[in-house]
Amino acid sequence: MKHHFSKKILLTGACGYIGSHTLVDLFENGFDVISIDNLSRGYMQLLKGVEKITEKSVQNYAIDLCDAAALHDFFDTHPDISGIIHFAAYKSVNESVREPLLYYHNNIASLVNLLQEVQQRQIPHFIFSSSCSVYGNVKHLPVTENTPLPTAESPYGFSKQIGETMIRDMAQVCPQQQFVLLRYFNPVGAHPSAIIGEIPHGTPENLVPYITQTAIGKREQLTVYGNDYPTRDGSCIRDYIHVCDIASAHTKALQYLMDKKNTGNCEVFNLGSGEGVSVLELIQAFEQSTGKALNYRIGARRAGDVVAVYADNTLAKEKLGWIPQYGVADMMQSAWKWEQYCANM
Ligand code: WQD
C-alpha cells in the first residue's frame, strides 16, 4: 500500500551506535534523513562511515534537544518531516546512578521539548528508543510487552519508563498521531562492513565492547561479574541482538505506521532475539567464532544486575514482520572485525 507522506525522517542521535546503524537501513530503504545530534556522546566519524557504506550523506544539526528555542527554529526550517526516530539520550546504567539529575534532565527535558514540537506541528509518526531495562528483575521468562513494570532499578531505566508514560499520555490526546515504543534488549555487534560500530564512552561498561577491547589488548583482562547466580552455568543470562537487526526493526516500524497497519496509536514492541545467552556462553561463542582466546577471570557480582532476562519477540515478528537475521556468532565476529578496524584507524 502506497502512503502519501513525505519520506523525510528526523533521526535524533544519528551519530550514535544504534542511530548510525538505523540510518544505513533507512537509506537502503529509500528514506531521506536529517539528523540532530549535539555530539555529546555521538561521533561524526559514524556519519562519515554511513556515507561510505551508502554513498548518501546526511546533514547533522549539532543542536541540544534541551534547548527548546533552537529546536523550534529547526522545525521552522524543516516543516516537511513526516516521522521522527528519537535515539538521543544518555544510556549508561552506572553513570545514571552516579549522576541522576544529569540523566533526568537530559533524557526527559529533551523528550518534552521534542514532543511539544511533535504535537504543535502534528508530526504524524514518532518512534521512541526504549529499553529492556524498564522490566527490571522479571519473574516470568521470556518477558512479554504486557509484563507489569516494576520500580526501575536505575535513574536510566526510570527515565525510559517516564518517557514511555509521557508518550502514552500524549497519544491519548493526539489520536491523529501515531507512536511506537521499541524496547531494545542487548544490542551488540557492528555493520558487516566494519566501517561503523559501537564507540564506548570511556571504559566500556557493557560486556561485548569489553570483550573485544580485551581481545585486542586495550584491556588487560575481562572480569566476569559473578558465576554464582541461579542459572545453568552460574553467570547472568541476557538477550543479545545484533545492532543491524535492531536497525531494521526501526525501518519496519516506520513503514508499519506509514502504511497505517497499526491497531492502536501507541504500541510497544520487544526487540530481542528471544534467546537467552549466559556471559560464559557468550565468551565461548566469541572465542569459537573469532579463534581468539580471551583472558578473563571470575569476579564479584555487579550491583543492579538482573539474573536473567530475554524477550518474547512474537509481537514484533507478527505485527512488524521483523525477523532477526543474525546469530550470536555473527554478533561476535562483527564486533571483533569492528574492534580491529578501530585499532588500524
Ligand atoms: C551484560 C552482562 C554483566 C561487563 C545494559 C543496560 C541496558 C542496555 C544494555 C541501554 C551482565 C556482564 C558486563 C563486564 C561482565 N543499555 N558483564 N563483565 O547490564 O545487561 O544491560 O546495557 O539500553 O539498558 O542495562 O548489559 O553488557 O553491561 O552486561 O560480566 O565487564 O555481562 O554482569 O550480566 P546489561 P551489560
Candidates 86, 246, 305: which one to mutate for ligand 1, based on the most atoms within 8 Å of Cβ? 305
Q: Please, what is the average pLDDT of the chain?
A: 96
Mean per-residue pLDDT, 175-181: 98
Residue 133, ligand 1, Cβ within 6 A: yes
Q: Whose CA is nearest to atom 19 of ligand 1?
A: 305
Q: How far apart are CA 1 and CA 261, in angstroms?
A: 10
Q: How confident is the model at residue 137 (pLDDT cuts 50, 70, 90)?
A: confident
Q: How confident is the model at residue 130 (pLDDT cuts 50, 70, 90)?
A: very high
> How confident is the model over 81-124, as pLDDT tens digits?
999 999 999 999 999 999 999 999 999 999 999 999 999 999 99
Taking the centre of ligand 1 as the mean of its atom positions, its distance from the CA of residue 92, in whole angstroms, is: 10
Q: Whose CA is nearest to atom 21 of ligand 1?
A: 186
Sequence-separated contacts (24+) of 102-107 with Cβ below 8 Å: 103/155, 103/156, 103/159, 104/155, 104/158, 104/159, 105/66, 106/66, 107/156, 107/159, 107/160, 107/163
Say yes or no to pLDDT of 1 above 70: no
Q: How far apart are CA 36 and CA 62, in angstroms?
A: 6
pLDDT for 189? 98
Single-letter code of the amino acid located at 179:
F
pLDDT for 3? 58
pLDDT for 4? 74
pLDDT for 345? 85
What distance lies between CA 267 and its chain's CA centroid?
Answer: 17
Residue 279, ligand 1, Cβ within 6 A: yes
Taking the centre of ligand 1 as the mean of its atom positions, its distance from the CA of residue 225, in whole angstroms, is: 10
Q: How far apart are CA 125 and CA 132, in angstroms?
A: 22
Taking the centre of ligand 1 as the mean of its atom positions, its distance from the CA of residue 238, in whole angstroms, is: 8
How many Cβ atoms from other residues are within 10 Å of residue 149's Cβ? 14
Full-model pTM: 0.97
Q: Catalytic annotation on 156? A: yes
Task: Please check whether residue 165 is in contact with residue 110, taking contact to mean a CB–CB distance below 8 angstroms.
Answer: no
DSSP secondary structure of 86-117: E--S---HHHHHH-HHHHHIIIIIHHHHHHHH
Taking the centre of ligand 1 as the mean of its atom positions, its distance from the CA of residue 189, in whole angstroms, is: 14
Helix H or strand E segment including 296: strand 296-299
Mean per-residue pLDDT, 236-261: 98
β-bridge pairing 277-278 and 237-238: antiparallel
Residue 236, ligand 1, Cβ within 6 A: yes
Nearest to 310 by CA among 334, 267, 281: 281
Mean per-residue pLDDT, 136-151: 93
SS3 131: strand
Taking the centre of ligand 1 as the mean of its atom positions, its distance from the CA of residue 59, in whole angstroms, is: 32
Candidates 92, 279, 286: which one to mutate for ligand 1, based on the most atoms within 8 Å of Cβ? 279
Mean per-residue pLDDT, 173-192: 98
Say yes or no to pLDDT of 157 above 60: yes
Cell of 211: 570483550
Which of the following is catalytic: 103, 135, 156, 210?
Answer: 156
pLDDT for 37? 98
Mean per-residue pLDDT, 235-258: 98
Of residues 163 and 153, more confidence is placed in 163
Mean per-residue pLDDT, 31-53: 97
Task: Please check whether residue 115 is in contact with residue 68, taking contact to mean a CB–CB distance below 8 angstroms.
Answer: no
The proportion of the chain whose per-residue pLDDT surpasses 90, expressed as a percent, equals 94
